[in-house]
Each structure stands twice: as C-alpha cells, then as structure tokens.
C-alpha cells in the first residue's frame, strides 16, 4: 500500500501562503514577501487558495501563480462566496459562471479541485441543492473541473445528500473539526480532507501518532479504499475506485503550525 504510485496521488498542503506568523517560523526572516509562494510551493505539494472566495482574481494572477510553482504543484481554489452564501442556491448560475470564467484555466495542469464552501447555517434542501449541483460545469474550455462540497450543517449527513453528490460526481470535504459535521463517505473519485485541529503546544501541530494515522488514511484513499476509523453516514455507499487522487490540507486551528504539519505528513508518506 505504501507504493510510490499511491504517494504520487496524494497532495498535502496549507491554506494560502501569506500569513504573518509564518515569518521566521516557516519562512526565513529575510525572505522577500514576493518570494513566499515560490518558497512555500517547494515545501508543500498543494495550496488551497482562500482569496478567491472573497474577491475575483484576474487571469494574470492565475498565470503568475502557475509560473512561480513547480511543474507537479496543484492549487485548490475556494469558489466565490456569492455563489454559496445565498438563500436560494438555484439562483447562483451567474456567480458560478463569473467565477469559472475569471481565468482559473490559466493554472493549466495545476488547477486542482474547486471548493464550494457553505455557511454553517445552510440547511440541506434536496431540491435546491440538486439545482445548484446542476449549475456546476464539468469543464472550462478543454479542462475537466473537479468540484468538492464543504457542507457545514448536520442536515447534510443523510443518504439523500450523499446520493446527490454521487450522482453529480462531486466530492465532499472531510474535516476533523468537531465544529462541523464530519463524515468520510466518498462521493467522487477523489478524497478531500481539511484538517483543523492543530495544537500550538505540539511541534508539528499534530502528535506523531496522529500524523502517522493520517498518512495511513491518505494511502488507503489513494489505493481506492476507505479508512474504517473515520465517522460515516451509516448505510451510504462509497463511489468505487481502483485509485484516487487525495488532497489533505492543514487549514485551521493553530494555523502557525500548518506548514510544519504538512511537512511532517509529507515526510511520513515518503517513508
């Protein structure tokens, strides 16, 4: 299971690359700010971009990110909040189109999953959510798009939601946070985890034993399986796969520890 092919399908990263507490912690103290993306992308294998949630980027920005990062690097983009923070999701078509057409394809092969994050107060409405999923394009130009739902209300922990996600081929975020519903049912051909429980008292944010467990889970996902020690919606089927791409991001908690956690997990996977 610890094969190089499986490891090649696993991306481990952080949220963004500009964060002041990373100065002289992750980044060298004398590193120019304009070189932070270059530096970060040589120490993690993916970055989840939060800025695209709040504002519309220009194609030039995506092109610049592409050119500053290694050939095998991947960006996950958090989609615009104007599509997800609304009462009626079925009316989000214009916002979805504006985001997809904003130049994201300038990332080329480095374009990873698009994360559609919903407010913790957003309750699952099967008809409305089905209409929203139907709005998400499968492609942008010649590039296939992968979508992942970050649903944050317990009402989504039902087979009805999971059936919709499987039907449309979208993944569902798994989080280890107890602030949001956590269910590891696989609804697409890739797995996406946002780990939010880092502890400032620990050198790498997570204890070595916990990181070993996450390395094992990531390898299980990559090999097409599913960890049996994560919470699930009982009775719901997983999408079968012989192999999967896997994305693991250290996002929240003691954020200053995120790069150390990502680096430690990458090292464990390499071993």
The encoded tokens of residue 197 equal: 């429980």
Q: Which residue has the tokens 């103290």?
A: 29
Taking residue 58's Cβ as centre, other Cβ atoms within 10 Å add up to: 11
In order of their start, the domains of the chain are: 4-270 (3.20.20.410)
How far is the C-alpha of 79 from the C-alpha of 200, rounded, in Å?
29
Which long-range contacts (C-beta less than 8 Å, at least 24 apart) are formed by 184-187?
184/226, 184/227, 184/230, 184/231, 184/232, 185/232, 185/233, 185/236, 185/238, 186/221, 186/226, 186/238, 186/239, 186/241, 186/244, 187/162, 187/238, 187/239
Q: Which residues pair with 139 in a beta bridge?
A: 144
pTM exceeds 0.85: yes
pLDDT tens-digit series, residues 177-220: 999 998 999 999 999 999 999 999 999 999 999 999 999 999 99
Higher pLDDT, 133 or 182: 133
Q: Are 136 and 170 in contact (CB under 8 A)?
A: yes
Res. 2 pLDDT band, cuts 50 70 90: very low
Predicted confidence (pLDDT) per residue in 99-119, tens digit: 999 999 999 999 999 999 999
Q: Judging by DSSP bridges, how do beta strands 139-140 and 143-144 pair with one another?
A: antiparallel
């Amino acid at each position: 299971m610890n094969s190089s092919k499986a490891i090649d399908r696993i991306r481990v990263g952080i949220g963004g690359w500009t964060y002041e507490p990373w100065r002289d912690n992750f980044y060298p103290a004398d590193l120019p700010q304009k070189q932070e993306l270059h530096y970060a992308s040589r120490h993690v294998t993916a970055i989840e971009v939060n800025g695209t949630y709040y504002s519309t980027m220009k194609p030039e920005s995506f092109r610049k990110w592409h050119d500053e990062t290694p050939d095998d690097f991947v960006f996950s983009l958090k989609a615009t909040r104007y599509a997800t923070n609304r009462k009626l999701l079925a009316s989000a078509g214009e916002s979805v189109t504006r985001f997809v057409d904003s130049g994201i394809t300038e990332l080329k092969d480095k374009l990873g999953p698009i994360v559609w994050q919903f407010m913790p107060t957003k309750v699952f409405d099967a008809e409305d959510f089905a209409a929203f999923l139907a709005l998400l394009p499968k492609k942008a130009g010649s590039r296939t798009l992968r979508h992942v739902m970050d649903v944050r209300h317990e009402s989504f922990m039902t087979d009805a939601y999971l059936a919709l996600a499987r039907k449309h081929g979208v993944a569902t975020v798994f989080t280890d946070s107890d602030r949001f519903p956590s269910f590891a049912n696989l609804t697409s051909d890739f797995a996406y985890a946002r780990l939010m429980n880092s502890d400032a008292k620990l050198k790498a944010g997570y204890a070595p034993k916990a990181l070993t467990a996450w390395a094992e889970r990531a390898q299980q996902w990559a090999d097409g399986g599913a960890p049996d020690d994560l919470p699930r919606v009982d009775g719901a089927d997983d999408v079968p796969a012989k192999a999967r791409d896997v994305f693991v991001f250290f996002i929240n908690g003691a954020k200053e520890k995120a790069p150390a956690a990502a680096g430690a997990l990458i090292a464990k996977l390499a071993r």
